[in-house]
Chain A
Amino acid sequence: MASSEKTPVDLSAAMITEPAALADWLVIAPLVLCMVLGSLLLMVRKDTRLQPFIAIPGLAVLVLLDVGLLVHVIVNGPVTMTMGRWLPPFGISFTVDILGALLCLTAGIAAFAGGLYGAGDVNDSGRRYGFYPFLFLMMAGVSGAFLTGDIFNLYVWFEVLLISSFGLLILGSERGQIDGATKYAFLNLVATTLFLIATGYLYGIFGTLNMADIAQKAPAMTDKAPLVTLVSLYLLAFGMKAAAFPANFWLPASYHTPRVVVSALFAGLLTKVGVYALMRVTLMLFPAERDVLGFVIAIIAAATMIIGAMGALAQTDFRRLLGYLVISGIGIMFAGIALASPSGVAGTIFYAVHSMIVMTALYLASGLAARAAGGFSIASSSGVYSSHVFLAAITLMLFFAVSGLPPFSGFWPKVILVKASLDVGAWWLAGAILLSGFLTTIAVGRVWILSYWRPAMTGGPAQDEAVTLNPLVDYLPLVLLTALVVIVGIFPQQILELSQTGSDQVLNPVDYIRSVFPQGGEQ
């Protein structure tokens, strides 16, 4: 602002005059780290041996920063940092509450496991094409989406993560990958364009894009009809991103084509960003309009769960089966959004955390199992249990977790969600959650019996040479994630309290708004 010296205007009314506190820099630290390391890795793209040594410590630092951010948010409540000196609602602000920080941390852990696994799974050509730079840029997009407090900025982060996910998806340029990527790219383009359309209308109605500002102004709007349309548009856009039922077909078409570690990261991170954005928009910005659409969301949730689980039952390919399980999990998260009661939303947050970890781990395990048993088809692969007992045990735990059986992490959020739906009398939603869990148990149980338990078939590729798995890069990420699944399953109290506080903050965003407008709404 060069002209500010000449004019005698009091800048403090519109501009930030104090520098941000040092701890508040944590808000954008994950983003800055990802972008810097992403560009750095792009520079050393040719040096394929060096890349993991930069990337894996970098991801560890990312996890630490996310932990720091979460602790900061727990201690101090929502934190806001505004860019470019303009005060909100004019400047773009990053606002973090517990929901954003918790999901950001989980995403960081999943990415760390993926990066570690990628050191063994992605070969030299994959690294030369830029696996690690894309991974970091995708993490920048994911973290940015979780941390931002501006809805147009959210759109930009969606695009960042989408563009880098395209790069990851076609890392091998195989026929199936190009085919899958074409469908993924076009359908996601439509989804983000819908998001942009809705944002354009939102700006036309409110004249602001800051989420806290919108949350303040939305209850005062007397004309509800355009807002319901707006929320429906957002529901369609984010439902498409999250692969909810009527718009889920891009996911099984593409998620099984890329490298295993890429599938794992996609399954863990991308759809959850859609769920997160939907929670932000429906629960925090437009709760009254969400109530109008609540029944629709509940039907979508039930249909997504059941169709995901039945799709999983009909698959022969292990990875495609997992793709349908991702969809089924999305349905369960939508159930909490449909209920919108504090415990329901807490269940959704808990389930999102659980699903990020367990789906990433399952895809990683499927990659190892395919290496050990000779292929992803459950009809022809066999004998993992006899050759790799440890891997089989870990996978069994993950299977229990994804089906929602105790004592693993999938159990508690499902209990919360079932109870929350029974509390409001939605017995059919509770029944859908239980039925999808049952169908999932059958689907994964069959995989375990056929691919793992069944003795190695004669003439199968598995028994010719024993496949050795590297304990560091192959097992460590899997053990790390499974340990989290078990710990969260046995000691759920911590995450439960965090989810409940997070859901309170989302449903009643007083602290969130106060963090953006400390004076209490001067506009």
Chain B
Amino acid sequence: MTLLVGVFFAVAIYLFLSKHIIRILLGAAILGNAVNLLIFTSGRLTREVPPILSPDDPVSNVVITANPLPQALILTAIVISFSFFAFLLVLGFRAYQELETDDTEEMRFAEPEDQEMPPLGY
């Protein structure tokens, strides 16, 4: 599991280093999953046990249960990262339509390269 998280992070960072928006997007998707697995791991792994306490005496008679908190955290994180991904996908597509490039090095519309110097005198 730890290895898998490591591989996911490596792939995500490799994709982030690309200059094409679509690759960065895929990297973002993988990064989200890597984090989810990380949270899952840090909540201590158990095998196939539901996160339900024994109905008779839930306080003293603690049997092994799965930790429900990481599951809740991951559910939240999945929803958030999915909505982010959807937004970024549309934003990337709009950028491709409007700016006619998906190369981040050519995206210089907000910060043009040949900016005039500020005036040095009156």
Contact = CB atoms under 8 A, between A and B. Distances in A.
Given A178-B95, A201-B42, A203-B39, A450 B119 contact: yes
A178 B98 contact: yes
B87 A185 contact: yes
A379 B58 contact: no
Nearest to A314: B118
Nearest to B87: A166
A471 interface: no
B13 to A, nearest CB: 10
B95 A204 contact: no
A196 B111 CA distance: 30
Nearest to B116: A316
B119 to A, nearest CB: 5
Given A175-B99, A252-B111, A256-B110, A316 B118 contact: yes
Contact of B43 (A152, A204, A449): A204
A511 to B, nearest CB: 27
A454 B121 CA distance: 11
Contacts of A196: 35, 39, 77
A254 B119 contact: no
B87 A254 contact: no
Contacts of A175: 98-99, 109
Contacts of B69: 203, 209
Interface in A372-389: 377-379
Contact of A178 (B35, B70, B94): B94
Q: Which of A163, A186, A314, A454 has the most CB of B within 10 A?
A: A186
Interface in A159-175: 159, 163, 166, 170, 173, 175
A7 B80 CA distance: 37
Interface residues of A, number: 49
A163 B73 contact: no
Contact of B119 (A170, A313, A378): A378
Contacts of A163: 83-84, 87
A257 B73 contact: no
Nearest to A177: B110
Interface in B32-75: 32, 35, 38-39, 41-43, 55-59, 69-70, 73
B107 interface: yes
Contact of B88 (A7, A173, A189, A316): A189
Interface string A66-91: 00000000000000000000000000
Nearest to B122: A454
Contacts of A257: 110
Nearest to A450: B119
Contact of A186 (B24, B35, B55, B109): B24
Interface in B95-110: 95, 98-99, 104, 107-110
Contact of A180 (B21, B24, B110, B117): B110
A379 B43 contact: no
Contacts of A378: 118-119
Contacts of A197: 35, 38
Contacts of B38: 197, 200-201
Nearest to A196: B35
A254 B110 contact: yes
Contacts of B95: 178-179, 182
Interface string B75-96: 0110011011001100110110
Contact of B70 (A179, A203, A315, A446): A203
Contact of B80 (A159, A170, A209, A314): A159
Given A173-B94, A446-B118, A189 B28 contact: yes
A379 B116 CA distance: 9
B91 A181 contact: yes
Contacts of B119: 316, 378-379, 450
A186 B15 CA distance: 13
Contacts of B31: 190, 193
Nearest to A174: B98
A197 B99 CA distance: 33
Given A7-B57, A182-B92, A200-B39, 8 more contacts: A173-B98, A176-B109, A179-B107, A186-B24, A196-B77, A253-B110, A254-B110, A313-B118
28 contacts: A7-B57, A13-B59, A152-B76, A156-B76, A163-B84, A166-B87, A179-B110, A180-B110, A181-B91, A182-B95, A182-B104, A182-B107, A185-B88, A186-B88, A189-B84, A189-B88, A193-B35, A196-B77, A200-B73, A203-B43, A203-B73, A204-B41, A253-B110, A314-B117, A315-B118, A316-B119, A450-B119, A454-B122
The 7 closest A-B pairs by CB, nearest first: A204-B42, A200-B39, A180-B110, A179-B109, A179-B110, A176-B110, A316-B118
